[in-house]
């Protein structure tokens, strides 16, 4: 078994993380790649994917698998917070002030599980899509 290398914040990782933190839209890897290429034109999509995975594994970013989503989205905000996801267009928005600790404690009490964390995502229809929906 190979000994894992210590984490190094390379220039590429730093740029990917900076752009991810700047983009509040919860971008896909492809969207991050498009933005990062403006600063590092030769960076490959594979490099962006590998570095995003590494940043997530290090706890510096979050990978978000949305309900019905075909692509993961990424979040540079690692503080505990919930999300709301538009069923129609896929928009994902932070809900930073949701009281989640009580919910996690109750889940632990009722299930007997030792909680390691949680992800909370609400699903709805955003205001823009509501305007498009024929009732």
Contacts of residue 122, defined as CB under 8 A and 6 or more positions apart, other chains included, come to 82, 83, 84, 85, 95
Q: Could you tell me which of 27, 30, 24 has the C-alpha nearest to residue 43?
A: 30
Q: What is the CATH number of domain 7-77?
A: 1.10.10.10
H/E stretch holding 86: strand 82-86
Can you read off the two tokens belonging to residue 106? 């109750």
Integer angstrom CA distances of residue 60 from 20, 89, 124, 134: 10, 27, 28, 41
Question: Which of the residue ranges 41-45, 59-63, 121-125 would you say has the lowest mean pLDDT?
Answer: 121-125
| Better-predicted residue by pLDDT, 103 or 128 | 128
For residue 43, pLDDT over 70 is answered with yes
Asked if residues 101 and 87 have their Cβ atoms less than 8 Å apart, the reply is no
CA distance 68 to 54: 24
* Residue spans per domain, the chain: 7-77, 79-135
Q: What is the pLDDT of residue 37?
A: 96
Can you read off the two tokens belonging to residue 32? 């991050």
In the predicted model, what is the mean pLDDT of residues 64-89?
84
| Better-predicted residue by pLDDT, 82 or 97 | 82
Class for domain 79-135, per CATH?
alpha beta
């Amino acid at each position: 078994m190979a000994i894992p290398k210590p984490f190094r914040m390379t220039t590429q990782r730093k740029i990917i993380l900076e752009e991810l933190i700047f983009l509040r839209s919860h971008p896909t890897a492809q969207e991050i790649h498009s933005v990062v290429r403006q600063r590092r034109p030769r960076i490959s999509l594979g490099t962006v994917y590998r570095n995003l995975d590494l940043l997530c594994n290090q706890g510096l970013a979050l990978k978000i698998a949305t309900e019905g989503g075909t692509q993961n989205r990424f979040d540079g905000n690692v503080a505990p917070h919930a999300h709301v996801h538009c069923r129609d267009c896929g928009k994902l928005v932070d809900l930073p002030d949701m009281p989640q600790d009580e919910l996690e404690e109750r889940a632990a009490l009722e299930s007997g599980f030792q909680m390691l964390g949680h992800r909370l995502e609400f699903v709805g229809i955003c205001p823009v899509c509501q305007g498009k929906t024929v009732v």
